[in-house]
Amino acid sequence: THHHHYHCNHVSVLSPQICKKDFEGFKKLFHRFLQVKGPSVEWPKINRPPEDSIQPYEKIREKGLPENVANSLNKLVVVKLNGGLGTSMGCKGPKSLISVRNENTFLDLTVQQIEHLNKTYNTDVPLVLMNSFNTDEDTRKILQKYTHHRVKIHTFNQSRYPRINKESLLPVAKDMGLVGESADGWYPPGHGDIYASFYNSGLLEQLIAEGKEYIFVSNIDNLGATVDLHILNHLVSQPNGKRCEFIMEVTDKTRADVKGGTLIQYEGKLRLLEIAQVPKAHVDEFKSVSKFKIFNTNNLWISLAAIKRLQEQNAMDMEIIVNPKTLNGGLNVIQLETAVGAAIKCFDNALGINVPRSRFLPVKTTSDLLLVMSNLYSLEAGSLTMSEKREFPTTPHVKLGSSFTKVQEYLIRFESIPDMLELDHLTVSGDVTFGKNVSLKGTVIIIANHGDRIDIPAGSMLENKIVSGNLRILDH
């Protein structure tokens, strides 16, 4: 059967066949969707997690590291969620192939980090990419460039499920194809699909056979998600009976993160609560920074043996996320998805670790891209760290307007990335361009009115300034 699994998962994207496993998975999800009515949590039963179920990172770090870090590393597999396209940033193809810093893409940085680990500790930590049918072909073409790097790279594909007409609840695809009219008929069902598709691909068993015990899963666009030796050591050093099967890295909420999922205690288990599961009347309470202080970074450490066990017992249970979409022709569809972190309640001795904010550095927009390309961060062996020269640990709040949404447009508007070491807040709106070697400090707001254009001259230093109208030159 392994051959069959393998074949099924690596069917060429254009092939009309859909894996039988995919269909079974969809059927199961769809049945559950039809049965479930109302929110999946009862608000009064929600409790704060007990003190010891979310450990401060400092406490984990205090244990120090053993002599033989290599032993632990050889039990680890790094998995990156690579199913997403760069469309939200105006790019074609996989998001992981967008250049982030000095011509390095998300994928380049990931490979450099793991290669650095393998060289430093003389280990064999493999990289596994979970692709979707949207990203598989392009990603695999590019992987050839890493053949001589010191990291083994495996891929497997997320399932491919049919989109459902919102009214009739019937699939919209006319055939199995992924081109032409039916292209819109299919979707990858969220990163919660990792458990089934990893298992079905045969790769999970292969890695267990190679002596691997844990996977570290994260979004490929989270540049803070590097392998943390202290968390790994915590996992591996637990006595077998109390061994932790699932660690979720969480971090403190700021006002920017009010929508992030949070950990709760529910019916005696740690559980991920997402905004989509919250009854309407309680959404404001969910968003409050006081009651739910932390959110899920989606950096997860999970036992391979436990995934295998739960898959085989059919005991993986994740809340269904109903994601409504409108197709290009105006047709309303829904896609049923699940989230990888939602399975936390199925694992034994699950734990949250409250990590520093620096482990959560997602690049979702060009505003985020501006931060990571700037002198706020220095790049070393594929890892970005906040520059020593920055006085305070928080990142500046950057909001670039719609003229900057697409990466291509954004790059044209900055002749060079400004010095942002002393910046607190930047808002830019309208047709604005930046010359070379501009320096931004404090709070800077630049607003070009409709039809006007503002060029910030080369070498300008803006400190606590509001620039508006159509000023071409600024007085200093």
- For this structure, is 364 an active site residue? yes
Is residue 191 marked as binding?
yes
Question: Which residue out of 364, 389, 399, 436 is catalytically annotated?
Answer: 364
Encode the chain in three state secondary structure: CHHHHHHHHCCCCCCCCCCHHHHHHHHHHHHHHHHCCCCCCCHHHEECCCHHHEEEHHHHHHCCCCCCHHHHHCCEEEEEEECCECHHHCCCCEHHHCEEECCEEHHHHHHHHHHHHHHHHCCCCCEEEEECCCCHHHHHHHHHHHCCCCCCEEEEECCCEECEECCCCCECCCCCCCCHHHHHHEECCCHHHHHHHHHHCCHHHHHHHCCCCEEEEEECCECCCCCCHHHHHHHHCCCHHHCCCEEEEEEECCHHHCCCCEEEEECCEEEEECHHHCCHHHHHHHHCCCCCCEEEEEEEEEEHHHHHHHHHCCCCCCCCEEEEEECCCCCEEEEEECCHHHHHHHCCCCEEEECCHHHCCECCCHHHHHHHHCCCEEEECCEEEECCCCCCCCCCEEEECHHHCCHHHHHHHECCCCEEEEEEEEEEECEEEECCCCEEEEEEEEEECCCCEEEECCCCEEEEEEEEECCCCCCC
Is residue 149 marked as binding?
no
Is residue 95 marked as binding?
yes
Is residue 75 marked as binding?
no
The catalytic site residues sit at: 364
Instruction: Extract the annotated binding site for UTP.
Output: 95, 158, 190, 221, 364
Instruction: Extract the annotated binding site for substrate.
Output: 191
Instruction: Extract the annotated binding site.
Output: 95, 158, 190-191, 221, 364
